[in-house]
Structure 1
């Protein structure tokens, strides 16, 4: 079944697809323009061209990696215009631009890039002037008309004896193509003519040393695709590759199954640091390497890994059977925390304590953490207690160390002559040195982090500092240090998996899952459960209001989240609930229109509503009930007080009326009464109450007294009294209410449970549901709240609101039903992203076509369809 899915992905998401590229970059370009308008500070968008190219190459697209049979791209460059390759099968060599192809038999080849002859280049010249600025103006007009490959030719670049600047379009090898371009230019209003220049033709030459006649085959191109398995260099096998002319060099860019890369890398590490070939230690390393390669590949801006990362053929040596078995046994296993892909880290020896990740990791990726909660480092009980010692004498100090202090601190521009003291100024929590101060006769020099390795490297003895977990012992004479000794433990950065400790743990029967849990704080999951989250935009909308766009990738596709974080303590804005059109009777309204009327800075759609735009959940605003949840249902809602404190709880509304000896339950607010029901209609409904042909009783109430009654068909044109309300009753409720008379006092008692935990008076309640997060854990209550299957099941566009532990409000939308852009999310996936954003409580709002987010008048998400909304949450200026 998974293979069938993969085949469908391969057809649908061809990474070479022109339409995919065009759509991708077009969306980003439009988005970039909009961002510049919306945000004034704090905005650093992904470059649209880079993003598109990277995604085509595989970066960020877990789906493409899966569709391509879990292959990664590998690049090898060398400082030579010639290279040796071995083809392992008959291969088709193709120029992707012209379609020209040659076929090569299996064997060894030398490839050169040489001049192959003379050719012609045809362009269309559309303007010439002695003013370069005028030529630039015409170029911009042509760009706006959609033309590319616009070249400005200076007076010194032509054989013409004049001072003219020329604007030429295109560089075509065939004159027919240039004539077609001229026709398109003329249709767009540009007049011109075709110019022809001579050019050198270059291309790749394949020499076969094995052929008796020294067979050569030539193909003129700057880029070739080789369809077939080949041995590129250093014994690295690639499944199809490209030859690229890069300056004077020939680069190879090809595909490789990720497990083949793991096999290449694991062997030298295992020989050196896991000599006993302990099975579970090797398997733990295989998982860490696979996760490392996938993470680096997907996050690579270029869309490939360098061949050097796999080591040379001499370093790799023969891949052992134990290493092959470890890779095979863990196929498809990756490191994860909360389903997010983690980059694998490893080092030879922890020295007894693993290192902190801070300062070493890319913030885009989940950090390494140990299994012990609350700690960023952990004592390594499996570590061997080996120590290392290195002595440094006066020769090293005078000839190497002092000059390096200057090299690493060029701004000081002074050469010290003596070393007086080496001070350890700072260490990480694990004890590793992070900051040294070298006091000299010419001042103090600070050396930090990775530079510490460089300052202590001894070129004369080929010594490299094993780790930063060390102590310094100095020997002085006349206040000058003439020698010093470092005594330390461990080898490597200390972060992630210590290979020597993994071997010892495996010997004691610990399996790879527990080993990786202890040393990486991670679990092992399969590719089908993996996801990657990237922050594409992070911007400040206003003080206390921040916006993010998050993109999440899975093997099934991507999904795009839009997030507002509202810190009401730092903002001069309020969160309020608003009704579309200011009344139920007026029907739904676009979020943009409602936001514009209310002067909103930010907004999202609110709760559920019916086909006429009537709200279906509990809405309460400024002391008045607008609508209620259907009888017998208890659903989760967001409540806010007048001081912008918020909470999320499952609220139940109830009410009773009493007039004389008559006491009746109220079934709802601002909706028609059904048989046997009594409902209240207030001025939030509109000027006229809902009309129906059924028989019943209507009562006008103002100032807690009955001001009028109507018995009969409920189509009588009554108006809702200003400052009062109307009661509508049918069936048994109408029979009992009809016993009251005009002038009788009437009392209504409303009750909302549970009692609010907010410190201030409740300002609004927005009912929706189901609950997503409770007390920092996922708790989806769709069954308890009796939601329909179409609301809670499957992936869909969604909107949610969350509250963080420090009382910030999170507004989140996710686009859906757009396979090329965002496939939507399940309630579980929505809860997961809210947890990652720091939500302690969260509730789902109306979704589907309603899901929409507004910032400064712009719709930030891409709704799956157009739908007006019944109500919304808006962030508006304080009163």
Structure 2
């Protein structure tokens, strides 16, 4: 009998008042490959006093494997409580307590292997988080949207006038089903919708409008990654929120792309699915752009590539292959390419975000490394510094996402300058934060309802949003 190993999701996150522990619960299930029948289940509970010093070290497959966010543990069904403790300690995991509970008796004495991923989760206490939220938003009306998700409505009074602020704070550690990601208005880029519809169509429980976009086409302006697919490339290396397994990063992103041919040509790619900024640029267009590539620039060419091979070259607009893309650029650079030439496309980013699963661009920075930091000129923003409706996103040092809208240009809410917005995001505990598209685009949806007061009834049509949803 051969056995396949799989695991269930993380279940336990316990808070101990005196000592910070890292607690995990997971199930290890042995299954008959031929019959697909479970033969035994083990529940393993661990409490680690500290994280392994060699957390980045990767050992052989037969041992514990570490990476940034998780460890994999391989044990045998014969392993007793003591043997498991000994094994974990020998591999650098300091264990205070471990326990194996068998749901069913062992039915095989074979030396079967069991592998169970162990996700690193700082211990969290729901009551403590509730208390922290109440202390932070003292004058706010607080609503629990879902475990780990709260909506806070705040009226703030300033010398300039009143502000109506809405906040969605997300604590992913309290709910393993939370997923935070960007969402488009349509299957392809040239679409806009009200954020209320984007949230509804994605079965999300909350969302805000997100990146800047070109009003005439609906194309997002800046980095956009959805489910590990690069949808659009960066503009002016603007600041971007990256998400990997509900862990957040923020940085200014630049993209490096190349198309390499079998005869040694190495052609620089300047961007992906973005409007042309210079005639000399080479831009890649995927089927996310739509059916056809945009109009060819003067003295330019279009090169259609499918499954790693050139299938068409033309001065006219080409249809974008489903399993490929169209490269548009100057004939001087693309003129030596030939139909049937095999090509390879390579992308990298700085910093290296190859492991990022979701990303959305904005700008400028509002908070960087815990300090107010508004870099309008560095990110080449024009006249956006005045008092306006605002949307922003950030995250705390302990990995809680904070989405904010501030209504503006109304008697009930005058709006905020970027510097005021930055101070508010810092006041709300953000370690890093950035501005998103604002003005008449500013909208927040919670449980299907618009909770802010958009300038236009029902809110403007937008290209994309940042949503919070629940997935089993």
For this structure pair, what is the TM-score category when the shorter chain's length is used for normalisation? 0.5 to 0.7
Match of 1:172 in 2: none
Displacement of 1:778: 0.6
Q: Does 2:335 align with 1:738?
A: yes
Match of 1:841 in 2: 432
Cα distance in 2 between the residues matched to 1:622 and 1:701: 23
Q: Does 2:340 align with 1:763?
A: no
Q: Indicate which of 451, 467, 470 corresponds to 1:874.
A: 467
Cα distance in 2 between the residues matched to 1:365 and 1:662: 61
Q: Does 2:380 align with 1:786?
A: yes
- The answer to whether the Cα contact below 8 Å between 1:662 and 1:737 also exists between their aligned partners in 2 is no
Cα distance in 2 between the residues matched to 1:556 and 1:763: 40
Displacement of 1:558: 0.3
Larger strand proportion, structure 1 or 2? 2
Deviations 1:534-563 (A, max 9, x none): 624111000100010111102321001100
Q: Indicate which of 241, 251, 256 corresponds to 1:638.
A: 241
Number of matched pairs: 334
Deviations 1:408-442 (A, max 9, x none): xxxxxxxxxxxxxxxxxxxxxxxxxxxxxxxxxxx
Q: Does 2:185 align with 1:580?
A: yes
The 5-angstrom pairing of residues 19-30 of structure 1 reads none
Displacement of 1:692: 4.8
Q: Does 2:366 align with 1:775?
A: no
Question: 1:832 is paired with a residue of what secondary structure?
Answer: helix
- The answer to whether the Cα contact below 8 Å between 1:534 and 1:550 also exists between their aligned partners in 2 is no
Cα distance in 2 between the residues matched to 1:835 and 1:560: 17
Deviations 1:142-178 (A, max 9, x none): xxxxxxxxxxxxxxxxxxxxxxxxxxxxxxxxxxxxx
Alignment RMSD, CA only? 2.0
Q: Indicate which of 221, 230, 252 corresponds to 1:650.
A: 252
- The answer to whether the Cα contact below 8 Å between 1:671 and 1:690 also exists between their aligned partners in 2 is no
Higher relative contact order (CA 8 A, sep 6+): 2
Q: Indicate which of 453, 456, 461 corresponds to 1:862.
A: 453
Q: Go from structure 1 to structure 2 and tell me whether the alpha carbon gap of 1:635 and 1:693 turns closer, same or farther (over 3 Å shift).
A: closer
Cα distance in 2 between the residues matched to 1:661 and 1:364: 62
Cα distance in 1 between the residues matched to 2:420 and 2:356: 31
Cα distance in 2 between the residues matched to 1:556 and 1:874: 31
Match of 2:441 in 1: 850
Larger helix proportion, structure 1 or 2? 1
Match of 2:406 in 1: 814
Q: Does 2:289 align with 1:685?
A: yes
- The answer to whether the Cα contact below 8 Å between 2:391 and 2:404 also exists between their aligned partners in 1 is yes
Q: Go from structure 1 to structure 2 and tell me whether the alpha carbon gap of 1:692 and 1:707 turns closer, same or farther (over 3 Å shift).
A: closer
Which 4+ residue blocks in structure 1 deviate beyond 4 angstroms? Answer: 363-366
Q: Does 2:152 align with 1:548?
A: yes
Question: 1:592 is paired with a residue of what secondary structure?
Answer: helix
Question: 1:741 is paired with a residue of what secondary structure?
Answer: coil
Match of 1:624 in 2: 229
Q: Does 2:263 align with 1:663?
A: no
Match of 2:419 in 1: 828
Displacement of 1:693: 7.0
Match of 1:753 in 2: 350
Q: TM-score, normalised by structure 1?
A: 0.37
Q: Go from structure 1 to structure 2 and tell me whether the alpha carbon gap of 1:672 and 1:832 turns closer, same or farther (over 3 Å shift).
A: closer
Q: Does 2:324 align with 1:724?
A: yes
Deviations 1:168-196 (A, max 9, x none): xxxxxxxxxxxxxxxxxxxxxxxxxxxxx
Q: Does 2:169 align with 1:565?
A: yes
Cα distance in 1 between the residues matched to 2:256 and 2:226: 16
Question: 2:440 is paired with a residue of what secondary structure?
Answer: helix
- The answer to whether the Cα contact below 8 Å between 1:535 and 1:548 also exists between their aligned partners in 2 is no
Q: Go from structure 1 to structure 2 and tell me whether the alpha carbon gap of 1:616 and 1:597 turns closer, same or farther (over 3 Å shift).
A: same
Deviations 1:256-309 (A, max 9, x none): xxxxxxxxxxxxxxxxxxxxxxxxxxxxxxxxxxxxxxxxxxxxxxxxxxxxxx
Q: Go from structure 1 to structure 2 and tell me whether the alpha carbon gap of 1:774 and 1:872 turns closer, same or farther (over 3 Å shift).
A: same
Deviations 1:581-600 (A, max 9, x none): 12113x21110111111111
Q: Indicate which of 396, 416, 421 corresponds to 1:804.
A: 396
Displacement of 1:815: 0.4
Deviations 1:763-784 (A, max 9, x none): 1111111111112111111122
Cα distance in 2 between the residues matched to 1:750 and 1:693: 24
Question: 1:735 is paired with a residue of what secondary structure?
Answer: helix
Cα distance in 2 between the residues matched to 1:557 and 1:364: 24
- The answer to whether the Cα contact below 8 Å between 1:672 and 1:728 also exists between their aligned partners in 2 is no
Deviations 1:786-843 (A, max 9, x none): 211x21x12111111111111010011100000x200001111111111221111111
The 5-angstrom pairing of residues 326-405 of structure 1 reads none
Q: Go from structure 1 to structure 2 and tell me whether the alpha carbon gap of 1:364 and 1:672 turns closer, same or farther (over 3 Å shift).
A: closer
- The answer to whether the Cα contact below 8 Å between 1:640 and 1:647 also exists between their aligned partners in 2 is yes
- The answer to whether the Cα contact below 8 Å between 1:662 and 1:736 also exists between their aligned partners in 2 is no
Displacement of 1:735: 2.2
Match of 2:20 in 1: none
Cα distance in 1 between the residues matched to 2:212 and 2:172: 26
Cα distance in 2 between the residues matched to 1:552 and 1:365: 16
